[in-house]
Chains A and B, each alone.
Chain A
Amino acid sequence: MQSLDQFLAEVEGRAFQIARIATGCDQDALDIVQESMISLVTSYSDKCESNWKPLFYRILQNRITDFHRRKTLTGKIFAWIGLKKADEEDIDLLEQIADPNADMPELALSKDRFSDALIHALEQLPARQQQTFLLRIWEGLSVKETAEAMQCGEGSVKTHLSRATQTLRAHLEPHYFSGDHHES
C-alpha cells in the first residue's frame, strides 16, 4: 500500500511544473503546490488511494484558477486606478502575445531547445487547454479523471485536448518533424 508521503513525492515535480507553466513564476508555483499538498493531506488522506491523484490535481487546478482570478482582479484594480504594478512597468503586453505564424528557429537545434519551446508554447495556450494537455498527455490521467480534476465534462476534455494539440503542433511540428530528433 502506497503511503501519502510516497504519493506526494511522486507527483510533486510534475505538479510544480504544471503550476509553473500556468503561473510563469517559481515562487507562485511552489505556494500552489504546497497549498494543494496541505489540502489533500488534511482533508482527503482518508480517501481510497486510487482517488488521491484526481483529487490532488483537482485541488491544484482550483488553486491555479484562484491564482488567475486574483491576478485578473489585481490587474483590473491597477488599471482602474491608472497604475501599473512595479514589475510590469517595462513589459510590453504585445510582446507577450504569441504569434502563431512566427518561426521558432531554435526548435530545430536540439531536444533541449524543443523542450524549452514546448514549455514556451504551452505557456501561450489558454489555461483550460494547457491544463488538459498536461493532465492527459503528461500526467496520464484518463479522460474521466481529467474531467473530474477540471470539473468539466468529458466532451470538453476531448475538445480542449484536440485544440491544444493542434495549436502546439502548428507551432512546433515543422521543427519537430524536420529536426534531427524524435520520430520514434
Chain B
Amino acid sequence: MNHEKDQAFHEAAREALDKQESQLTPEVKRALYQARVDALQKRNQDKDSTRLWGWSLQKSLYPTGLAMAAILTMVLWLPDTGSEIVPDSTSTQFSAETLDMLSAEEDLSFYEDLEFINWLATQPEQG
C-alpha cells in the first residue's frame, strides 16, 4: 500500500517536474543552447590546438630526427671504413716474443743478455 502510494507520488512528481521543465523561459533556453554550443566549440578548439601542436611538433621533429639519424650513421659507419684495423707488426711481434719468454724454461738472465747480443750484432765491426 505504502509502496503504491510512493509510486503514485513519484509519478505525480515526475509529471510536475516535466511540466516545470517545459515552461523554461526563452532566455533560459537560449542561454542553455549557447552554453552547449560554447562547450562543443571548446572541444573542437582543443582538438584543433592538439592537432596543430602535433603537426608543428612533427614539422620540427622530423628534420631534427633525420639529422640525428644521419650523424649517428656517420659515427657508427666512419670508424669501420676510415680506421681499419691494421695489424701492428711490432706489437704482435712483441707479444709473440713475450709469450715465448714466458713459456720457455730458460733463465731470464739469458733473455737479458740476448738483448745485449742483438745490440752487439748491429754494431759495425771495428778494427
Report the nearest A residue to B20, measured CB to CB.
A115
Interface residue A62 (Cβ < 8 Å from any Cβ of B): no
Per-position binary interface string of chain A over residues 103-114, scored 1 when its CB falls under 8 Å from any chain B CB and 0 otherwise = 000000001101
Q: Is the CB of A13 within 8 A of B21?
A: yes
Report yes or no: A34 in contact with B8, Cβ–Cβ below 8 A: no
B interface residues with partner A (beta carbon < 8 Å): 5-6, 8-21, 24, 28-29, 31-33, 35-36, 38-40, 42-43, 46
Which residue of the partner chain, among A14, A17, A42, A118, contacts B42 with CB atoms under 8 Å? A42
**What residues of chain A have their CB less than 8 Å away from a CB belonging to chain B?**
4-5, 8-9, 12-14, 16-17, 26, 30, 33-34, 37-38, 40-42, 45, 111-112, 114-115, 118-119, 133-134, 137-138, 165, 168-169, 172-173, 176, 181-184
Minimum distance in angstroms from A57 CB to a CB of chain B: 15
Pair A115/B17 contact, Cβ less than 8 Å: yes
Residues of A contacting B21 in the complex (Cβ-Cβ under 8 angstroms): 13-14, 17
In the complex with contacts A169-B9, A183-B8, A12-B20 CB distance below 8 A: no
Question: What are some 8 contacts across the A-B interface (CB < 8 A)?
Answer: A17-B20, A38-B39, A41-B40, A112-B19, A115-B16, A182-B12, A182-B15, A184-B11
Choice from A30, A45, A111, A118 contacting B35 with Cβ under 8 Å = A30
- B8 → chain A closest CB, angstroms: 7
CA A134 to CA B17, docked complex, whole Å: 9
CB distance from A99 to the nearest CB of B (A): 20
Asked whether, in the complex, the Cβ of A16 is within 8 Å of the Cβ of B32, the reply is yes
Question: CA separation between A137 and B36, bound complex, in Å?
Answer: 25
Residues of B within 8 A of A30 (CB): 28, 31-32, 35
Besides A5-B36, A184-B8, 18 more A-B contacts (Cβ < 8 Å) are A4-B40, A5-B40, A9-B36, A12-B32, A17-B21, A33-B32, A33-B35, A41-B40, A42-B46, A111-B15, A111-B19, A119-B16, A137-B13, A168-B13, A169-B5, A169-B9, A173-B5, A182-B8
Say whether B9 contacts A173, CB under 8 Å: yes
Residue contact B42 to A41, C-beta cutoff 8 Å: yes
Residues from chain B with a CB closer than 8 A to the CB of A5 are: 36, 40
A residues near B18, Cβ cutoff 8 Å: 138
Interchain CB contact under 8 A, B43 and A41: yes
The 3 closest A-B pairs by CB, nearest first: A37-B39, A34-B35, A115-B16
CB proximity of A40 to chain B, nearest CB, Å:
8
In the bound complex, how far is the Cα of B29 from the Cα of A17, in angstroms? Answer: 12
Residue numbers in A under 8 Å from B15 (CB-CB): 111, 182
Q: A34-B39, A41-B39, A41-B43 are in contact. Are A165 and B19 (CB under 8 A)?
A: no
Contact call A118/B17, Cβ cutoff below 8 A? yes
Query: Is the pair B9, A168 in contact by a Cβ cutoff of 8 Å?
Result: yes
- Write the nearest CB–CB distance from A12 to chain B, whole angstroms: 5
Point out the residues of chain A lying under 8 angstroms from B17, CB to CB: 17, 115, 118-119, 134, 138
CA distance A13 to B32 in the complex (A): 8
